[in-house]
Structure 1
Amino acid sequence: MTLIYIGLGGFLGAISRYLVSKYINTIFALGNMPYGTLLVNISGAFILSFLMSLSMHKLEIPKNFMLFFSTGFIGSYTTFSTFMYETIMLNEESFTLYSFLYLIISIILGLIAAFLGYALGRMGT
């Protein structure tokens, strides 16, 4: 049953990643920055940190839901491998500035989002 929870979450997370990324990339078609992946990774960092903090400090969240959502959904929603590949491709295509900015912005905003999610989860709001 555990694998079904993780698999269903992964299925929904992968579809969500595709739809969110595609939508964001059509809205923010400025330069060559992969905004969709950037938003997915930052929002995933926030959501996972919020949920984990909430479950550690305020709520008793069922294990099956945590497997479904954190391991399955968020695990396939966030895209570290895509992030790395896009960073390399920006550099290969002579968009070195975009490559550097994408890397730095992703790391800094991802950490900020994770910190905020954790802090909000700990407060229980």
Structure 2
Amino acid sequence: MSYVTVGLGGIIGSLLRYFLSVAALSLWGKGFPIGTLLANLLGAFALGWLTKNMYVARKLPPYIVSGIGTGIIGSFTTFSTFSLETIQLVEQNSMFLALIYVIASFIGGLFFAWLGSFIAQKATYTEIESL
């Protein structure tokens, strides 16, 4: 069952990332890869939240969690595109933008994964205390 949910989630996540990239390109242009940065930061937050809230609290069956985490979020985020876009910025002699992109991606990703986990944990404890 996990194969099906991961596959379906992969379709959803990749389409969401494509739509986000197209929207970001039309809003901000080509100068900075904001679409990939947004996808990776949103994905880090979502996976942090999902892992803490859904899997640890066992609110959903594992095959659904895999479909959301590996399928949707895994295909929504992309390290390979981040890597390629960083190299393209360097090749265009946009060293400052490349550095900003790398720092924002790594530190932002860690921060948003922590934030998602933190918010889910607070919500879980609040839920438990109210019982």
What is the CA–CA distance in structure 2 between the aligned matches of 1:12 and 1:55, rounded to whole Å?
A: 19
* Contact in 2 for aligned 1:58/1:124 (Cα 8 Å): no
RMSD: 1.5
Structure 1 partner of 2:112 = 113
Asked which structure has the greater CA Rg, the reply is 2
Higher alpha-carbon deviation: 34-43 or 49-58:
49-58
Instruction: Say which SS state the counterpart of residue 60 (structure 1) adopts.
Output: coil
Structure 2 partner of 1:100 = 99
Residues 1-125 of structure 1: pairs in structure 2 closer than 5 A: 1-29=1-29, 32-124=31-123
Q: 1:2 to 1:120 in 2, by over 3 A?
A: same
The answer for unaligned runs of 5 or more in structure 1 is: none
Q: 1:2 to 1:56 in 2, by over 3 A?
A: closer
For normalisation by structure 2, the TM-score amounts to 0.88
* Contact in 1 for aligned 2:41/2:112 (Cα 8 Å): yes
1:35-61 deviations in whole A, cap 9, x for unaligned? 000000000000010010112544522
Query: Displacement of 1:111 after TM fit?
Result: 1.2
Q: What is the percentage of aligned positions where both structures have the same residue?
A: 38
Instruction: Say which SS state the counterpart of residue 124 (structure 1) adopts.
Output: helix
Aligned length: 124
**Could you list the runs of 4 or more consecutive aligned residues of structure 1 that deviate by over 2 angstroms after TM superposition?**
55-60
The answer for unaligned runs of 5 or more in structure 2 is: 125-131
Q: 1:58 to 1:123 in 2, by over 3 A?
A: farther
What is the CA–CA distance in structure 2 between the aligned matches of 1:124 and 1:59, rounded to whole Å?
A: 14
Query: Displacement of 1:123 after TM fit?
Result: 1.4
Which amino acid letter does the alignment assign opposite residue 8 of structure 2?
Answer: L
Which amino acid letter does the alignment assign opposite residue 94 of structure 2?
Answer: F
What is the CA–CA distance in structure 1 between the aligned matches of 2:17 and 2:53, rounded to whole Å?
A: 23
